Copies of this chain bind each other. A is one copy, B any other.
Amino acid sequence: MLSQTEENYLKALFYLTSENADKSEAGTNELAATLNVKPATANDMLKKLKEKKLVNYERYGKISLTNSGKKQAIDIVRKHRLWETFLYEKLEFTWDEVHEVAEQLEHIHSPKLIEKLEKFLNYPEFDPHGDAIPNAKGELKVQARKTLSEMAVGKTCKLIAVKDNSASFLQYVMKVGLGLSSKIKVISRQDFDGTLEIEVNGKKSVVSQKFADNLFVV
């Protein structure tokens, strides 16, 4: 059985090499930064994970998950997102509070618990941030989506997911009047730096490109 630490490495690698991250291989420094450890630490762990056949890795080479590693990573993501959904739907947590607690809950080992939890939540397909929840087989719904920053001026779109899960970002999103399913109209865009003027529920706001890069819409 994997330790919590090993699980965190697999999950980090999964995110660093997922579609979302537009590349399929990661580096030691990048991985270390994600996990808030020093590169030397990540390097040690990579050797261990390679030994366990969970990552593809050669000295000075790029890193990727093996099929086995990916399967395990997806299972952790599944648990994380089911717990977030539980906290949000059943315990009245707000969407900026769920992530931190789910970081702990995702490491509970009990297949039965997850099966039962999923059933209790009525087999949800998306978590409170709009991210797809993998099913027991590791399959997840892929939605066509673009970032708000890619939307044409004058168009209206619907918020379906957020990329950043940090409490500070999510609180900012709420402050602008946004939540999942909100309708957003793009009023104008500054060519200089991509700053957008948007309208949500009749309320206008000016937001940075960085902000818009972190919102997924259809």
- Interface residues of chain A, those whose CB is within 8 Å of chain B, are 87, 90-93, 97, 100-101, 104-105, 108-110, 112-113, 116-117, 120
Q: How far is the CA of A113 from the CA of B93 in the complex (A)?
A: 9
User: Can you spell out 8 A-B residue pairs with CB atoms less than 8 angstroms apart?
Assistant: A87-B116, A91-B117, A92-B116, A93-B112, A104-B108, A104-B109, A105-B108, A108-B108
Q: Which residue of B lies closest to A100 (CB)?
A: B110
| A113-B87 contact, Cβ under 8 Å, with A104-B108, A105-B108 | yes
A101 touches B113 (CB 8 A): yes
Smallest Cβ distance from A103 to chain B, in angstroms?
A: 10
Smallest Cβ distance from A138 to chain B, in angstroms?
A: 22
Find chain B residues with CB under 8 A from A93 CB. Answer: 112, 116
Find chain B residues with CB under 8 A from A104 CB. Answer: 108-110
Smallest Cβ distance from A113 to chain B, in angstroms?
A: 5
Smallest Cβ distance from A110 to chain B, in angstroms?
A: 5
Find chain B residues with CB under 8 A from A87 CB. Answer: 113, 116
Find chain B residues with CB under 8 A from A113 CB. Answer: 87, 91, 101
